[in-house]
Chains A and B, each alone.
Chain A
Amino acid sequence: MKTGTPKHTWNHQTLAPWFFLAIPLLMYMTWVIVPIIQSMFFSLTDRDSILFQRQFVGLGNFIRLATDPTFHLALQNNLFWMISFVLVPIPVGLAIAMFFNQDYPGARWFKTAFFIPMTLSYAVIGTIWAWIYQPDFGALNTLLRSVGLDTLARQWLGDRRYMTGALIVVGIWRQVPYVMILYVAGLKNVPSELIEASMIDWASWWQRFTNVVLPMLRPATVVAVTISIIDSLRAFDIIYVMTNTKARAAEVLASYMYSSAFTFQDYGYGSAIAVIQFLITLGFILIYVNNTLKSEEKL
């Protein structure tokens, strides 16, 4: 329960929060909330709606989306991103967090070094990974060839069949450290005796891990999963930097929205894609908000 508010300051305090909120709310409205509403409105108008007088087309853009093969592929690719972002970074991030979660001197520095990918911009990440994927002298193919796996060498970014997969790997590379950090924070609440590895008694350790430790890590897991899903739905920078959004095979909702609205000047259509993306994300946003607010009420 909250401390009751003394009566004599009541009036004073109904005004006070608005005094503090005035600037932040005004700025947020101007640059974020109003633009979102505008975008929703644009999604109901035809292309060139901004340049000429607005032409209301109702759900026309959405109907067109229903039969657009690129949109279908973008949805499919986004789903692929989403599944990969849950299935790989969560267990890998957790495993690495458990591994690094030791009291040995210098353990902190391992975590720090491991975290470096999160501090790099996509412009930098894209450049570096393009070299790794370079088919002739890139690191990945030369590695495969040097161990005799020549047949596995591919055009990772050039071949339209592997493009999306190759991009997701880059995304995962950056996401795993993030998930790891979330779990490192979560593990602070778990008594260290519970996780201390025992070399002999693996079976009972595993049992304790699944029955006791995992449930204790639930808050961290919820945050990690929702953040990863939201990030996967927003995937854009990697695709923009590494493919310049020119290949249909790599398209996701965000990149298709960008090329429709910006490259091809169809604002209405681009906004319609954005609205769909927003609706899909909204569900996960609500889970996230609900979860964090609920955990607060428990306090």
Chain B
Amino acid sequence: MSMTTAKPIVRSAPDMRKQKALLKGAFYVGGTLLVLIWLIPVVIAVFTAGKSMAELMSSPFMWTPPRQWTLENFRSAWTNAGMARYMMNSFIITIPSVLGTLAISSLGAYALAFYQFKLNRAILIVFVSGMLIPFQMLMIPVFRFSDAMGLMNTYRGVTLFHVAFQLGFCVYFLRNFMRTLPFSLIEATRMDGASEFTIYLRIIMPLAIPSIAALGVLQFTWIWNDLLWSIVLLNANRVMTITQGLANMQGQFITNYAIIAAGSILAALPPLVVFLFFQRFFISGLTVGAEKG
């Protein structure tokens, strides 16, 4: 065979249309199947959460949808297992963490994107490496530092940690975005006598809003889903997050799968909603570096 690419093939119009329709059908059928198969675990969780205890016991096969849907499990998880409190805590920690990360990382990103100075490259590498390290390395020192500073069991303590820890990724991400903005824009404003901070706040930040939104959505999911750092930094029930609550719940309701499934779904809901609403941002946030050619 020669190395020429696709030879033009002459075909009649109805033939082509038929093939197109077939392809389209195959896409929808195949896509639906693929998604269904991939989401089986999620579907099972929903089915389990919807079953009454009696039904769960009489037929423990998790494949089948409930004969009668019930919301009872969600109610028990919410009130008896204390999910309401844990959910509140998770919001109290996640939202300021996300806002803090965005604000602080944009400062660093701005500096690394627009100024030429000796340590620019080195600092960037420090931020990037920090984001990729095996984070378990930090556990003992961070625990001891937080303890010494009186930050244990406080929302502040976890929030500050999340902000600091996420800086690596966020600075890198925002800096890459800011590099794509025209440098001349800044020069022009600077000539007009604007201060450096004004340039950052009035010129760059408004332009960076799409990428900041992307980052925000991504950060929300990550911080919300964190379990490890909550375990390390929070041990009083009144401040525990929802992922911790879920882990505790498994000890308490060990054989009651329905309540645990309901709790899991509750815990998964906020990041899922955020993702569905802002999916465009979310995806562009995750694909840094994959698009450039």
Do chains A and B make direct contact within the complex (CB under 8 angstroms)? yes
Given contacts A32-B165, A201-B9, A291-B289, are A254 and B136 in contact (CB under 8 A)?
Answer: yes
Asked if A278 CB lies within 8 Å of chain B CBs, one says: yes
A128 touching B140 by the CB < 8 A rule?
no
A278 touching B133 by the CB < 8 A rule?
yes
Interface string of B134-172 (1 = CB under 8 A from A): 111111111011000000000000001101110110010
A17 touching B140 by the CB < 8 A rule?
no
Chain A: residues with Cβ within 8 Å of the partner, total of 124
A127 touching B279 by the CB < 8 A rule?
no
Closest-by-CB residue of A relative to B120 is A17
B246 touching A131 by the CB < 8 A rule?
no
Q: Which residues of A contact B30 (CB under 8 A)?
A: 99
The minimal Cβ–Cβ distance linking A70 to chain B, given in whole angstroms, is 16
- Expressed in whole angstroms, the Cα–Cα distance for A236 and B268 within the complex equals 20
Asked if B291 CB lies within 8 Å of chain A CBs, one says: yes
Closest-by-CB residue of A relative to B127 is A28
Q: Which residues of B contact A59 (CB under 8 A)?
A: none
Of the residues A139, A207, A258, contact of B136 by C-beta under 8 Å: A258
Q: Which of A82-90, A150-158, A180-188 contacts its partner?
A: A180-188
Asked if A119 CB lies within 8 Å of chain B CBs, one says: yes
Q: Which of A60-68, A109-117, A159-167 contacts its partner?
A: A109-117
Of the residues B5, B117, B163, B264, contact of A27 by C-beta under 8 Å: B163
- Expressed in whole angstroms, the Cα–Cα distance for A240 and B224 within the complex equals 18
A234 touching B134 by the CB < 8 A rule?
yes
Interface string of A77-115 (1 = CB under 8 A from B): 000000000000000000010011010100100101111
- Expressed in whole angstroms, the Cα–Cα distance for A109 and B179 within the complex equals 31
The minimal Cβ–Cβ distance linking A253 to chain B, given in whole angstroms, is 7
Of the residues A31, A127, A220, contact of B145 by C-beta under 8 Å: A31
Q: Which of A250-299 contact B (CB under 8 A)?
A: 253-254, 257-258, 261-262, 267, 270-271, 274-275, 277-278, 281-282, 284-285, 288-289, 291-293, 295-296, 299
A223 touching B289 by the CB < 8 A rule?
yes
- Expressed in whole angstroms, the Cα–Cα distance for A267 and B120 within the complex equals 35
Interface string of B254-293 (1 = CB under 8 A from A): 0001001100110110011001100100011011111111
B61 touching A99 by the CB < 8 A rule?
no
Closest-by-CB residue of B relative to A9 is B190
Q: Which of B36-44, B66-74, B75-83, B208-216 contacts its partner?
A: B36-44
The minimal Cβ–Cβ distance linking A146 to chain B, given in whole angstroms, is 9
Asked if A149 CB lies within 8 Å of chain B CBs, one says: no
- Expressed in whole angstroms, the Cα–Cα distance for A254 and B228 within the complex equals 12
Asked if B126 CB lies within 8 Å of chain A CBs, one says: yes
A23 touching B104 by the CB < 8 A rule?
yes
Asked if A198 CB lies within 8 Å of chain B CBs, one says: yes
Q: Which residues of B contact A125 (CB under 8 A)?
A: 41
B276 touching A112 by the CB < 8 A rule?
yes
Q: Which residues of A contact B39 (CB under 8 A)?
A: 113-114, 116-117
The minimal Cβ–Cβ distance linking B75 to chain A, given in whole angstroms, is 19
The minimal Cβ–Cβ distance linking B274 to chain A, given in whole angstroms, is 8
B5 touching A224 by the CB < 8 A rule?
no
- Expressed in whole angstroms, the Cα–Cα distance for A123 and B39 within the complex equals 17
With A38-B141, A119-B275 given, can you name 15 additional A-B contacts, CB distance below 8 Å?
A17-B115, A19-B196, A20-B200, A27-B167, A32-B167, A42-B140, A110-B32, A116-B42, A116-B272, A120-B271, A199-B23, A201-B7, A208-B5, A236-B136, A292-B176
Nearest 6 pairs of A and B residues by beta carbon: A121-B225, A35-B141, A24-B108, A31-B164, A185-B287, A20-B111
